[in-house]
Structure 1
């Protein structure tokens, strides 16, 4: 990767615009950051960390996730092993309420402040919403005051209102990739349908969690486009996933994103969005390893999923908490988010 001399000035521009004034970079500026060569990566990560500290502070939000309904999804998201359209090893299954309560309790015991209930569906039906309602009720009856988030696919206004009434704190619905690339990743629904769900969530007063997956064949220009589109959405939280090529999916032969490119992308997203939570999510273990994960935490990240993901193993929560302790990054207390 080569860099024209004039593009190095983007770091000076970002220092004034983002660090000092809190104004995120625009699409063309983000592209300049993504084109920086490896010689400038250390300076880029350091600046992204300064931005995170200035506009977000030192605390890290820790979250656990659990799959209430796994597999058998009718959508054809090409990265997903839970799609019923692909010959993957994942089979449809439901988690019972006691299992959900146990998972929430174990998540809270790690010090996490957020517990996300996830389902592999196009959108929730009455059975699923009933399970979510009963699950939240049981978690509260267990004496657990952890914040509840959900990720249940595309919603109607009635379903949005129902989730608000249940006390759901935050809703995750990823745009996944740039609008111009989306049709190459998913054909059974549109980018605009996802955006409409996010609009309703925001207007209903729930926090918006939205991000995507890096490494799905998008160009560097489309990565910049995606970051700018997320910045326009202005989510409360942005999840950063890196493709894990899943057996049986159309992307099973894709290469894992190279660590330095991934770090450059993390920093670019922070410079595009100085204030939201920027969360390490799926694929970080494969893409970064231990050292790279630390670099990411010092390069703009201020939230992390601990434990396992939906169909992939993660690192033990104790390992991530020890890393945060080593980096002297305090875990956000539950009292700070209630």
Structure 2
């Protein structure tokens, strides 16, 4: 009989090999913390195990997604990392895209082999004008482009959730951003619980749930492990992994960029906590990881990637990411595999 003391004495990667790789069960919060506390001398071993887990429980394909902002800037919320907040002196001007521009962006995204196209708006939640435009945009894109359409337009009511589901939105993104305990250090104009409630309604409506956050905002390793456990409890279809890219004019403008080894350790730990979930490289990876670190991440648990630019920061040219996946012999997920 194995006791709690025996488990505590066992090497955490040995535990993970049995529990996660062998049985497909994610590590709990305490176990995830032990992974995050591993030294740099164990990093290669961790990433190797995380890649094995990813291959066994998710397959070898990489899901590619493009994103575009329907409404940029002027958001009334005070998310301390975000230059789209109208409360900060940040160099992002408010702007709207029309439906033809969204359709054209979806076409260009599809040409990369992407299966997902996400429409994002910098709002607390959609008003009638925005929601109506989004419904029309989804219909127009579906009529002309063979691609799944995702959306991210903030906090929703039940009626709004139902309308987006009826419009054919495939996946809804609403990041928890960080752990419940650290959230008040990041946002004060709404609560973590409010975000969680939107995700509950989205899931019950039958849309896929996409929820992740940003690492490197000053959270402790304990809070990073708590965040992984919060996400695991949510059972999301996808978790975007962003790394803080300090933006001028925001409260986090002077924060240091997360160390590459810490970011890779987090990727491995989140894969072991979420063995069957899509883990997507998102914002900040270029600054935090560089080319070599990005390759290590794709061979260390990541199985999805955003190509091109993000909402307020530049990404890499799409061709570079596609070339990188080719170099690593990672196949791009076909659209018919997502339907």
TM-score, normalized by the shorter chain, greater than 0.5 = yes
- The runs of at least 4 consecutive aligned structure 1 residues that moved more than 6 Å come to none
Task: Find the counterpart in structure 1 of residue 3 from structure 2.
Answer: none
In structure 2, C-alpha distance between the alignment counterparts of 1:257 and 1:233, rounded to whole Å: 26
Structure 1 match to 2:65: 63
Report how far residue 97 of structure 1 moved: 1.2
- The normalised TM-score by structure 1 is 0.97
Tell me which residue corresponds to 2:269: 268
Map of 2:98 onto structure 1: 96
Structure 1 residue 145, shift from structure 2 partner: 2.0
Structure 1 residue runs of 5 or longer lacking an equivalent are 1-5
Alpha-carbon distance in structure 2 between the residues aligned to 1:61 and 1:224: 25
Q: Please report how far the alpha carbon of residue 7 of structure 1 lies from its aligned counterpart in structure 2 after TM superposition.
A: 7.0
Structure 2, unmatched stretches of 5+, are 1-7
Alignment of 1:27-38 (within 5 A): 27-38=29-40
Structure 2 counterpart SS, 1:36: coil
Residue in 2 that maps onto 1:3:
none
CA drift at 1:246: 0.3
What is the SS of the residue equivalent to 2:163?
Answer: helix
Q: Give the C-alpha shift of residue 32 in structure 1.
A: 0.3
TM-score by length of 2: 0.97
Q: Could you tell me which residue of structure 2 aligns to residue 209 of structure 1?
A: 210
In the TM superposition, what is the alpha-carbon distance from 1:8 to its structure 2 partner? 7.3
Tell me what 1:73 maps to: 75
Q: Distance in 1 between matches of 2:338 and 2:267?
A: 24
Q: Is the 8 A contact 1:76 1:188 kept in 2?
A: yes
Count of residues paired in the alignment = 332
3-state SS, counterpart of residue 229 of structure 1: helix
Deviation for aligned residue 1:98: 1.4
Pairing 1:35-54 to 2, within 5 Å after superposition: 35-54=37-56
Equivalent residue number for residue 173 of structure 1: 174
Query: What's the offset of the Cα at 1:133?
Result: 1.4
1:252 aligns with 2:263: no
Matched, 1:131 2:150: no
Q: CA RMSD in A?
A: 0.9
- Paired residue for 2:89? 87
How many angstroms apart in 1 are the aligned matches of 2:137 and 2:78? 28
| Aligned mates of 2:141, 2:13 — CA distance in 1 | 46
Deviations 1:77-106 (A, max 9, x none): 000000000000101110111111110000
Mapped partners of 1:133, 1:155: distance in 2: 14
